[in-house]
């Protein structure tokens, strides 16, 4: 496997004539958790739409596990698992039915799918609830199911677009802990978009984005030192007050 799970280089993007991303460049290694921090409107969701190829780009390069997303889209996107900000589960299906449907779309056979579903749900403490309709689950449990779904095909890269928005503190903490544990136990790399500082671990890589530009990147310790800040909240404040 390529050591780089996600590589973004010189990425620009325009909505019509308005440029909303400016020369975005950063790299996430295999087994690394990277927190993409930025206020609302910073460009986080646009960046995710480009990485997932919901939007196309003309300037810059995006590669997943060494596969260029424009030149080798099927191989590149096959490396990717995604949890979007808005839930996309079918509320009228059971947890198991949702996951089996997704597995079928991924071309995973029934026997292999059942094993993978069991594995992912057990890791999340959700296997006993596999026969419940999704609408019976609370927000935190629905998010767990979406994370399980995103990992069924064993991707090398997991994208999480503000997955804890609207959840209570225990649910948020549980998901944050689970995702970080995944990076320790496997070669999974994670790009997690958030604006919540308590979701950042000391070992995480951090990319701060503001007004469509990368304003800072490194570990929390490195960023505090580079910006002469008192803590990560101060780093975020200083980085997002910059103009252009």
Q: What confidence tier does 244 reach under pLDDT thresholds 50, 70, 90?
A: low
The CATH number of 4-79+155-239, from 1.20.1560.10, 3.40.50.2300, 2.60.40.10, 3.40.50.300, is 3.40.50.300
Give CATH 3.40.50.300 domain extents, the chain: 4-79+155-239
**Mean confidence (pLDDT) of the chain:** 93
Q: What confidence tier does 87 reach under pLDDT thresholds 50, 70, 90?
A: confident
How distant is the alpha carbon of residue 105 from its chain centre? 20
Span 134-155, pLDDT tens digits: 999 999 999 999 999 999 999 9
Average of per-residue pLDDT across 160-164: 92
Distance in angstroms (rounded) separating the CA atoms of residues 213 and 14: 13
Closest CA to 22 of 42, 52, 48: 42
Residue 85 has pLDDT above 80, yes or no: yes
This prediction has a pTM of: 0.91
Would you tell me the crossing angle of helices 139-151 and 110-123 to the nearest 10 degrees? 140
Task: Tokens for 232, please give them.
Answer: 């990560």
Q: CA angle 18-21-23, nearest 5°?
A: 125
Residue 1's pLDDT is what? 46
Closest CA to 95 of 149, 153, 151, 140: 149
């Amino acid at each position: 496997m390529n050591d780089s799970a996600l590589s973004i280089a010189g990425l620009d993007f325009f909505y019509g004539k308005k440029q909303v991303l400016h020369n975005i460049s950063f790299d996430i290694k295999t087994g690394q958790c990277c927190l993409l921090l930025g206020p609302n409107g910073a460009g986080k969701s646009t960046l995710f739409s480009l990485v997932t190829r919901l939007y196309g780009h003309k300037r810059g390069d995006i590669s997943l596990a060494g596969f260029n997303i424009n030149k080798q889209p099927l191989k590149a996107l096959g490396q990717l698992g995604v949890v979007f900000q808005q839930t996309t589960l079918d509320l009228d299906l059971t947890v198991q039915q949702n996951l089996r449907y997704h597995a079928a779309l991924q071309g995973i056979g029934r026997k292999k799918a059942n094993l993978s579903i069991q594995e992912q749900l057990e890791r999340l403490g959700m296997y006993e609830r596999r026969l419940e309709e999704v609408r019976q689950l609370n927000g935190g449990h629905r998010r767990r199911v979406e994370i399980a779904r995103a990992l069924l095909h064993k991707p090398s890269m997991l994208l999480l677009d503000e997955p804890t928005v609207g959840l209570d503190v225990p649910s948020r903490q549980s998901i944050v802990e689970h995702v970080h544990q995944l990076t320790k136990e496997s070669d999974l790399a994670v790009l997690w978009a958030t604006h919540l500082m308590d979701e950042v671990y000391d070992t995480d890589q951090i990319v701060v984005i503001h007004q469509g530009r990368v304003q800072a990147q490194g570990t929390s310790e490195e960023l505090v030192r580079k910006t002469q800040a008192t803590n990560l909240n101060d780093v975020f404040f200083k980085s997002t007050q910059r103009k252009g």
